Amino acid sequence: MNQTASTATPLIRLEGLSKVFHTDEMETHALSGITLDIASGEFVAITGPSGCGKSTLLSILGLLEPSSAGRYLLEGHDVGNLGLRRGAQVRNGQIGFIFQAFNLIADLSVEENVALPLTYRDGVDANNRRQRVREVLELVGMSHRGRHYPGQLSGGQQQRVAVARALVNDPSILLADEPTGNLDSRNGEAVMQLLEQLNDNGTTICMVTHDQAFARRAGRTVLMLDGRIVDEDTFERMRHEDDMPQLEVVS
Ligand SMILES: Nc1ncnc2c1ncn2[C@@H]1O[C@H](COP(=O)(O)OP(=O)(O)OP(=O)(O)O)[C@@H](O)[C@H]1O
Ligand SMILES: [Mg+2]
């Protein structure tokens, strides 16, 4: 990694990012003016009530969705309007995504699932691919299950395989949307420890979680309310004023 570049330029910079969904005759302001920097090597937790825009924010960070306004710089490059093809290339090369529901492909073995992102990449031959798959499965403690299918694994094991798949292309950042949300506390703890271990070894992580105990273990917690990032005092005050925060909906 280039130390000079990583201290001068945040890995991720969002400036006034907004997202409006248009459905029927309704506009939903899912994100309103999000400004956020994530430095290389950070572990950031994003938390806030249901519907406040956490998954929308993560989808935009993962280039799975375009924003409606504002700027998104990834390693100093504007990736806000890349188009589908170039966006997919950047996503595949620089971003690893972990979903709450694991999203492994049932008909592919563990090894095949993990290898999938490599097959979209030029210049990786079969030997390199096998080697890299072995490395990341080792890293998440799942080498012994390479020939199994997702349905033969526990939830915690499936999520560790999903983490291996997200890591296989050596991304700049790992994005995780409720990675422990479908797991019991023991498996959730194991996945959290895995993320902590990856972060200790230099992986930048941005994780959405409802779990306050997990959020506190991240290096920094970002609180969201109604599509905005708020500080702790504002968060507490607004939550007391309005127990079930509503989104701004304009018809
Ligand atoms: N594809 C979509 N079309 C229309 N509205 C959407 C879409 N995706 C999300 N929204 C709306 O945007 C708002 C934010 O949704 P989002 O999924 O980001 O919330 P969240 O914070 O992840 O909630 P949860 O904690 O329940 O997962 C919600 O009001 C939601 O209904
Ligand atoms: Mg969500």
Ligand 1 touching residue 209 (CB < 6 A):
no
Tell me if 217 is assigned to some domain: yes
**Which protein residue's CA is at the shortest distance from atom 11 of ligand 1?**
30
Q: For residue 83, name the pLDDT band (cuts at 50, 70, 90).
A: confident
- Taking residue 115's Cβ as centre, other Cβ atoms within 10 Å add up to 21
How high is the pLDDT of residue 16?
A: 98
Query: Is 2 among the domain residues?
Result: no
The DSSP 8-state label assigned to residue 248 in this structure reads P
Calculate how far, in angstroms, residue 54's C-alpha sits from the geometric centre of ligand 2: 6
Atom of ligand 1 nearest to the CA of 19: 12
Q: Residue 1 C-alpha to ligand 2 middle, in angstroms?
A: 32
Residue 104 lies in a domain: yes
Q: Is residue 225 part of a domain?
A: yes
E strand intervals along 57-136: 69-74, 77-78, 95-98
Q: Name beta bridge partners: 96.
A: 174
Task: Give the residue, out of 23, 24, 28, with the most ligand 1 atoms within 8 A of its beta carbon, to mutate for a pocket test.
Answer: 28
- Give the bridge partners for 33, in sequence order: none
Inform me whether the pLDDT recorded for 241 exceeds 80: no
What is the rounded CA–CA span in Å between residue 75 and residue 1?
Answer: 12
Mean pLDDT across 198-227: 95
- The residue whose C-alpha atom lies closest to atom 7 belonging to ligand 1 is 21
In the predicted structure, residue 2 carries a pLDDT above the cut 90 = no
What separation in Å is there between the alpha carbon of 132 and the centre of ligand 1? 35
Average pLDDT, the chain: 91
Q: Is 247 part of a structural domain of the chain? A: no
Residue with CA at minimum distance from ligand 1 atom 6? 21
Residue 8: HSE in the Cβ half-sphere, 13 Å Cα cutoff = 6
Question: From the CB of residue 55, how many other CB atoms can be counted at a distance below 10 Å?
Answer: 19
* Any domain includes 167: yes
**How far is Cα 34 from Cα 113, in angstroms, rounded to an integer?**
34
CATH code, domain carrying 160? 3.40.50.300
Q: pLDDT tens for residues 113-166?
A: 999 999 877 778 889 999 999 999 999 999 999 999 999 999 999 999 999 999
Q: Is residue 6 part of a domain?
A: no
Residue 180 in any domain: the answer is yes
Q: Which of 24, 25, 34, 56 to mutate to test the pocket of ligand 1 (most atoms within 8 A of CB)?
A: 56
pTM: 0.90
Structural domain span for residue 139: 12-242
The pLDDT, as a whole number, for residue 121 is 79
Q: How many domains does the chain have?
A: 1
Query: What is the DSSP secondary-structure string of 57-113?
Result: HHHHHTTSS--SEEEEEETTEE-TT--HHHHHHHHHHHEEEE-TT----TTS-HHHH
Q: Is 54 in the pocket of ligand 1 (CB under 6 A)?
A: yes
